[in-house]
Amino acid sequence: MKKKLLYLVILLAAIYGGKYAYDMHINHNFETITEGKVYKSGVIPPDEIEDYVKKYGIKSVIDLRFPGTGDDVNNPEVPAELLAEKEAVSKIEGVTYFNNGSDQVPQKHNLDMFFKIMDDQDNYPVLIHCYHGVGRAEMYSAIYRIEYEGMDRDEARTSTRLLTKWSSFDLGTPKGDFLHTYIGRKDSIK
């Protein structure tokens, strides 16, 4: 019995590890947030971005990266890479590139720019991405769900990933607490 359980745990770890490797390195953590409207990902190499744009009808790319994050291990955001992406997107007819370089927890000016982009229906479908697609892209995807789909802020927070507990979106973390206490634009008017 113990041996079967051990094999099951190893099998599940292998499956999850394989899915993680596929998502991270082949699929670039690409995910549908709202079919036909909003997608999120990590960096898609410039020579592959046109394929994603065409497949999903993407009209706007919101790049949340910016150089100088000070986190060169987890987010090695090199100016040349940002420029290469911007140039690649500029060659795709009908697609607009927006750079909204953001910290892991958005500042007001980042949110203002994000809302300006997302308020314009001509920008849809939109691809939101950061370096890995699991931090800032998930944060802004959650904000999108709160602001534009009326999702509860904690539901949006916990829908950022399969397991929120012990992640950077858990309560007691800067991202988790930001979303947990987030006051949407409609609620702030009241």
Give the model confidence (pLDDT) of 89-131 as tens digits.
999 999 999 999 998 999 999 999 999 999 999 999 999 999 8
* Higher local confidence (pLDDT), 27 or 122: 122
H helices within 22-160, ranges in order?
46-56, 79-90, 108-119, 136-149, 153-158
Q: What is the pLDDT of residue 11?
A: 57
Which DSSP state fits 61?
E
Closest CA to 33 of 118, 190, 138, 183: 138
3-state secondary structure of 123: helix
User: In this structure, are residues 40 and 128 in contact, taking their beta carbons and an 8 Å threshold?
Assistant: yes
Residue 35 has pLDDT above 90, yes or no: yes
pLDDT score for 131: 86
Res 5 pLDDT > 90: no
Between helices 46-56 and 79-90, what is the axis angle to 10°? 40
- Residue 176 and residue 16: Cα distance in Å, rounded? 24
Cα-based angle 151, 107, 27 (whole degrees, multiple of 5): 60
- Rounded Cα distance between 97 and 95, Å, is 7
**Is pLDDT above 60 for 154?**
yes
Q: What is the pTM assigned to this prediction?
A: 0.82
Distance, in Å, from the CA atom of 143 to the CA atom of 151, rounded to the nearest integer, reads 9
Q: What is the pLDDT of residue 47?
A: 93
Give the percent of the chain with pLDDT over 90.
61
Largest CA distance in the chain: 60
Query: Do 179 and 156 meet the contact criterion of CB atoms below 8 Å apart?
Result: yes
